[in-house]
A and B are shown apart, each in its own frame.
Chain A
Amino acid sequence: MKKIEAVIRVEKLEEITEVLEKLNCCPGMMITHIEGRGRQKGIVEQFRGREYKVNFLPKVKIEIVTKDSDADKIVNAISKAARTGEIGDGKIFVYSIEDVLRIRTGEKGDIAV
């Protein structure tokens, strides 16, 4: 099993959700609104005639746990939908997951994903 953790632009969330829905192999997803910075290192804003730096930008983090066989498909779909080609598109991390347990039934492993 794999956990896919994607940091994306806030405005791309809806598009990515639609793409994953169509893919029909993505069991569930978790969303966190986060702030962070990458190579872009924040942006400059302005208040009453004076500019100031905002060091951390709002992003969305998606977490999906899935069967090994589906992981690549999902990663590719997210990366395609999230890309604009401009700096700030985000990153995707993939982890191995040891086990999963569905609380309602007690099922474990792939079937619980």
Chain B
Amino acid sequence: MKIKLKKWRDRVMAAGLAVVTGLLASIVFPHLAFAADPSGAETLAQNPQAPVDYVWVLVCGFLVFFMQAGFAMVEAGFCRAKNATNLMAKNTIDFVMASLVFMAIGFAFMMGNDYHGLIGTSGWFLHGANYDVGKYLMFFWQLVFAGTAATIVSGAVAERLKFKAYFLYSLAVAAIIYPIYGHWVWGGGWLAKLPFGVGHVDFAGSGVVHTIGGFVGLAGAIVLGSRFGKFAKDGKPKAIPGHSITLAALGTFILWFGWFGFNAGSTFSAHQLRIAVIAVNTNLAAAAGAAVAILLVFMKTKKWDVGMMLNGCLAGLVAVTAPCAWIEAWAAVVIGAIAGALVVLGVYFWESKGVDDPVGAVSVHGLNGVWGLISVGLFADGTYGLGSTTEPFVKGLFYGGGYGQLIAQAIGAAVCVAWAFGLGFIAFKIMDTFFGIRVKPEEELKGLDVQEHGTPAYPNFYTTNQS
């Protein structure tokens, strides 16, 4: 038995060594073809109109970066004051880790030279031929998206996950889970080449960013279990009110604002005047989602529930992210309205299954990410192509495009859910086996702020009504 184990261990070590050697080799001997343009002079000479596109993509990228602040505020507002420091820590560290890891390997896996439609294989450390203004622009854009996917999860696992586990998890998302799935859709991978419709499409990332984040979050919430006090002894779900609707609303407005960059910037060119359509659709879906969510809860409880309205707004934004460039205004309203209903039903559904998602991230990003992907196959109107005003145009079922696009969207959505949930579950399970990902019960009761970080978020205030 011992010998067998040793053999197995040796094999793993040999395999690991091979991977590391391969990585090092590609760094030491970069692709010596110097098509790269580090100064940007050649790019500008070839395309004098490039600056407007560069400025457009960068400004939109800065807006997407600012969504980190939005997530931080929404999550802090929806959780208790005793865990606010911990949420700030997690919302910062995921972008910190994503930046470093995505530069090292994530970007290469995602946008590098395609290997059989499965994975990218070049561009490690933004080195060699990737020292180029165009590549750096693309890297920055993909990085802020990777950061967004990573930060979604912190809401679903809030108030009980160890900081150490979150640190390692954000490595896994930025290095593997996000970039490899991203390669399949945006890096010329197999999902983009599906023989249905124009292949699986996801304009700004309902799937690549939000479904990924949402379902990794679901995996985390399931492995962790529910917070102390979330379910009564008879299993009935109880509300654990967050400490600031004000912060949650501010965060939602920041996200709503950032989303205009997220979606409209995904044209990757200011010369695509479709950006005006995208901005309008983005806004309409947010509004419809918020309206439906608050009305639905009002019908149930006769109270105007602001927390759920904020979730509904974000749900509409998530859903319209995939179809935003390919639909008309009325469709954006319908897609947003359905998203608003889905998020309300989702929140009650997961609670009824015993899953504790403190901020509703799984319903907002997971369920509505899937709905956004599907909606392309229904509402795409055939007036716009793949980030281009030329054929092939994306056309859904309701505009006479047949079932082809819908099938491509359904396949992509199913793969996305399986990939994110599967890898997320494995990652959290492995960490849990090795060091336990959940804080001790007494730490959870006292709050993670003082126990994990030594820093209460509001040291000069005492808080009441804490359970």
Contact = CB atoms under 8 A, between A and B. Distances in A.
Interface of A: 35, 45-52, 54, 56
Interface in B442-467: 464-465
Interface string B292-309: 000001001101010110
B347 A49 contact: yes
Contacts of A51: 239, 301
A45 B311 CA distance: 18
Contacts of A48: 78, 239, 305, 307-308, 311, 347, 360
B307 A35 contact: no
Give the secondary structure class of A's interface: strand
Contacts of B297: 49
20 contacts: A46-B301, A46-B303, A47-B241, A47-B242, A47-B307, A48-B305, A48-B307, A48-B308, A48-B311, A48-B347, A48-B360, A49-B344, A50-B351, A51-B239, A51-B301, A52-B238, A52-B240, A52-B241, A54-B465, A56-B465
B348 interface: yes
Contacts of B239: 46-48, 50-52
A50 B237 contact: yes
Nearest to B347: A49
Contacts of B242: 47
Interface bin, chain B: 20 to 34
Nearest to A33: B464
B465 A49 contact: no
Question: Most chain-A CB neighbours within 10 Å: which of B239, B240, B305, B464?
Answer: B239
A47 B297 CA distance: 11
Interface of B: 78, 237-242, 297, 300-301, 303, 305, 307-308, 311, 344, 347-348, 351, 360, 464-465
B307 A49 contact: yes
Contacts of B464: 35
A49 B300 contact: yes
B308 A49 contact: yes
A70 to B, nearest CB: 35
Nearest to A48: B307
A51 to B, nearest CB: 6
A45 B304 CA distance: 11
A54 B241 CA distance: 11
Contacts of A35: 464
A52 B467 CA distance: 12
Most buried by B among A35, A46, A52, A54: A46
A101 to B, nearest CB: 32
Nearest to A58: B464
Contacts of A49: 297, 300-301, 305, 307-308, 344, 347-348
